[in-house]
């Protein structure tokens, strides 16, 4: 059964709108005291994310299964929340070698909202459903809606639309409420407490949200074999820095020097995983690619002879 649309809200009651008793005299503080106050509150935000490890781990499994089966992770949000979703989506392809179409960010107000506030966009419900329609969101996908306050119309509208389309759903919010369980399959809700500046959710709520999102995608990609040890073996070496990193990865995992590792990478068409299999197992690039395909592109499974994803 779909959750009912919310009626008029008393926004003053939202956790994200409360006044922080520890920061009531900011205007009297020195610059050093302000920095210490803000960073102390940031530590509280980090602790709040650690406290939601269990629901976050379930979200990781949900996303990993969807991506592993050919589905997508679609972030949806407004304002700071939307920008954080788009940012996390944009960073997945170069870091983990996944196509840009597999992790997607949708922000209320469209692309221009990435640089400038689009007034009222967060309250409009219909554009959220339209965005999911354009993306052809379906049963193989996971829609992760992000709303610091837990009441954003655009975000909750996206969850309703996602459910109608058969997608699995996650809600990331910094305003925990039992009622939110009706909106999504999983709710990840760190309790960050009132902001340093009342209502400024780009601060602790934004920090906690960023932590949740990068933990979600990083852990899911690790589960999918995109990391070996702590090395990003699917990195796309598209810049000098990344090319140097790819050479170091191959060198570390094969024991070769920089020149030999660079030569392997060239033969592997710049794919570190392929180069490592070539160097470790003494096979051709074609054979290395075949072995990786047979093990779901999981380098650990190829090198260690274990089942993929373990």
**Rounded Cα distance, 176 and 180, in Å:** 8
Q: At what angle do helices 272-281 and 285-294 cross, to 10 degrees?
A: 110
Task: Tell me if residue 17 is catalytic.
Answer: no
**Are 175 and 151 a contacting pair, CB within 8 Å?**
yes
* Residues paired with 240 in a beta bridge: none
Marked catalytic residue, from 17, 41, 61, 91: 91
Task: Tell me if residue 122 is catalytic.
Answer: yes
H-assigned helices in 25-178:
31-50, 53-68, 79-96, 126-135, 153-164
Marked catalytic residue, from 119, 122, 133, 195: 122
**Are 52 and 176 a contacting pair, CB within 8 Å?**
no
Three-point CA angle 185, 99, 103, nearest 5°: 25
Q: What are phi and psi of 266, to 5 degrees?
A: -65, -45
Q: Which strands sit side by side in the sheet containing 73-77, from one edge to the other?
A: 103-107, 73-77, 142-146, 168-172, 186-188
Exposure string (b/e) for 98-137, b if CB count within 10 Å is 16 or more? beeebbbbbbbbeeebeeeebeebbebbebbbebbeebeb
Give the SS3 label for residue 105: strand
Active site residues: 91, 122
């Amino acid at each position: 059964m779909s959750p009912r649309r919310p009626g008029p809200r008393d926004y003053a009651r939202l956790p994200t709108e409360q006044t922080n008793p520890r920061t009531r005299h900011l205007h009297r503080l020195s610059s050093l005291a302000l920095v210490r106050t803000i960073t102390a509150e940031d530590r509280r935000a980090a602790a709040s994310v650690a406290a939601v490890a269990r629901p976050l781990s379930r979200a990781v499994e949900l996303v990993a299964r969807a991506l592993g089966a050919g589905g997508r992770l679609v972030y949806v949000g407004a304002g700071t929340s939307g920008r954080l979703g788009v940012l996390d989506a944009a960073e997945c392809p170069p870091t983990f070698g996944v196509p840009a179409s597999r992790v997607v960010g949708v922000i209320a107000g469209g692309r221009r909202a990435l640089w400038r506030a689009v007034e009222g966009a967060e309250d409009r419900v219909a554009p959220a459903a339209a965005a999911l329609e354009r993306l052809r969101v379906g049963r193989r996908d996971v829609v992760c809606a992000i709303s610091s306050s837990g009441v954003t119309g655009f975000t909750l509208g996206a969850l309703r639309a996602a459910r109608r389309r058969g997608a699995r759903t996650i809600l990331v919010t910094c305003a925990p409420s039992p009622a939110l369980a009706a909106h999504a399959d999983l709710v990840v809700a760190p309790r960050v407490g009132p902001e340093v500046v009342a209502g400024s959710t780009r601060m602790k709520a934004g920090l906690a949200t960023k932590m949740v999102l990068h933990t979600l995608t990083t852990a899911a990609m690790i589960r999918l074999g995109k990391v070996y040890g702590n090395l990003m073996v699917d990195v796309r070496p598209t810049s000098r820095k990344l090319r140097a990193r790819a050479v170091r990865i191959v060198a570390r995992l094969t024991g070769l020097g920089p020149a030999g590792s660079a030569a392997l990478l060239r033969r592997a068409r710049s794919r570190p995983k392929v180069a490592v299999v070539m160097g470790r197992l003494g096979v051709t690039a074609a054979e290395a690619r075949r072995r990786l395909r047979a093990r779901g592109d999981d380098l650990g499974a190829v090198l260690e002879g274990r089942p993929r994803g373990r």
